[in-house]
């Protein structure tokens, strides 16, 4: 516990000590006067009635003075906080319409709902990827900026889930991240337990950085990846450069990525379920130390003691003195 005005505590000790000393002195004089008059001895009950009301008033005095010092305690408050990277697959397969109006549009809708549901303590960044990955918005607590970045998502080409994870890690750590050469130790990224990557994708991988190695790197850095599967396992076809290409949701790939980092996979079979899955994502709980002023409870305790002492004085002695 700390005090805004610690000098008041010294005054409280001195004033309370003086009051107690004064009361003891008065009682000794009273006892001596009664003894001189030949009135000695009293029952325990009488002693309680005589001293208890004054004891309550004296106990209230230091509480009132300490309340003037504005005491406060530091409490640990759990909250959702940290950095969240929303990662959107913008490859050709995300143009498929097995989710209406398209997989990408459904992912964007879910991303918007996700951002709007987050507290201001969460900074949100946006990464868009196809066969490469690009950070389109650095993490920010400005929801308008994050939403605008999501609504701009669009692209073409193949899919590199591994590259998307590496780009997200680079944004989180503030430095470029690449997979180590074969046989080399992984790079030291530090430990980022308050960071989460939320990956919206159909899971189809067409090349690029090794997905499992990238997920392992995220796990080593303490970054959890939550995956949202966008599309259907039955799949459909999508037109690319005049050709019809088959595409389907790869749940196994997305589940493996999430499991590696301690995250979870959320399946979504239609647009509404994509939004529901995004809303069910469990973000990291952190704690923050916040001051809690104790003036009110301390003053309240003093008031209770004063009222109780006054009530007993009135009942037992017929006056408040």
User: Which pLDDT score is estimated for 63?
Assistant: 85
8 A C-beta contact, residue 160 and residue 130: yes
Write out pLDDT tens, residues 63-104: 888 888 888 888 766 666 688 999 999 999 999 999 888 999
Write out pLDDT tens, residues 227-262: 999 999 899 999 888 888 899 999 999 999 999 999
- The answer, yes or no, to whether the previous bond of 161 is cis (omega within 30 of 0) is no
* Cα separation, 186 vs 179, whole angstroms: 7
8 A C-beta contact, residue 86 and residue 274: no
Name the residue with tokens 């749940």: 251
- According to the 3-state scheme, what is the secondary structure of the chain? CEECCCHHHHHHHHHHHHHHHHHHHHHHHHHHHHHHCCCCCCCHHHHHHHHHHHHHHHHHHHHHHHHHCCEEEEEEEEEECEEEEEEEECCHHHHCCCCCCCHHHHHHHHHHHHHHHCCCCEEEEEEEECCCEEEEEEEECCHHHHHHHHHCCCCCCCCCHHHHHHHHHHHHHCCCCCCCCCCCCCCCCCCCCCEEEEEEECCCCCCCCCHHHHHHHHHHCCCEEEEEEECCCCCEEEEECCEEEEECCCHHHHHHHHHHCCCCEEEECCHHHHHHHHHCCCCCEEEEEEEEECHHHHHHHHHHHHHHHHHHHHHHHCCCC
* Cα separation, 315 vs 174, whole angstroms: 72
pLDDT at 225 > cutoff 90? yes
Strand intervals (E) in 161-273: 195-201, 224-230, 236-240, 243-247, 265-268
Write out pLDDT tens, residues 111-167: 998 898 888 888 999 999 987 888 889 999 999 999 999 999 887 778 899 999 999
Pull the structure tokens for residue 312: 């007993």
């Amino acid at each position: 516990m700390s005090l805004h005005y610690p000098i008041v505590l010294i005054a409280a000790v001195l004033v309370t000590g003086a009051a107690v000393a004064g009361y003891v002195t008065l009682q000794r004089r009273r006892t001596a006067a009664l003894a001189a008059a030949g009135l000695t001895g009293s029952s325990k009950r009488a002693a309680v009635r005589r001293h208890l009301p004054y004891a309550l008033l004296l106990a209230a005095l230091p509480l009132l003075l300490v309340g003037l010092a504005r005491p406060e305690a530091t409490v640990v408050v759990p909250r959702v906080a940290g950095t969240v990277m929303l990662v959107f697959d913008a490859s050709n397969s995300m143009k498929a319409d097995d989710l209406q109006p398209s997989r990408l549009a459904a992912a964007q809708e879910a991303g918007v709902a996700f951002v709007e549901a987050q507290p201001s303590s969460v900074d949100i960044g946006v990464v868009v990827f196809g066969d490469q990955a690009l950070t389109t918005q650095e993490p920010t607590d400005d929801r308008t900026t994050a939403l605008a970045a999501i609504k701009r998502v669009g692209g073409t080409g193949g899919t590199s889930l591994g590259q998307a994870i590496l780009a997200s890690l680079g944004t989180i750590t503030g430095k470029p991240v690449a997979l180590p050469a074969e046989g080399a130790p992984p790079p030291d990224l530090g430990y980022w337990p308050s960071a989460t990557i939320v990956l919206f994708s159909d899971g189809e991988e067409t090349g690029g950085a090794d997905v499992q190695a990238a997920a392992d790197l995220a796990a080593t850095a303490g970054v959890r990846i939550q995956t949202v599967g966008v599309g259907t396992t039955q799949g459909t076809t999508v037109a690319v450069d005049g050709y019809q290409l088959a595409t389907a949701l790869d749940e196994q790939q997305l589940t493996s990525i999430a499991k590696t980092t301690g995250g979870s996979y959320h399946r979504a079979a239609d647009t509404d379920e994509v939004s529901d899955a995004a809303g069910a994502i469990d973000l990291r709980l952190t704690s923050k130390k916040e001051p809690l002023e104790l003036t009110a409870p301390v003053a309240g305790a003093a008031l209770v003691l004063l009222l109780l002492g006054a009530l007993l004085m009135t009942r037992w002695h017929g006056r408040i003195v």
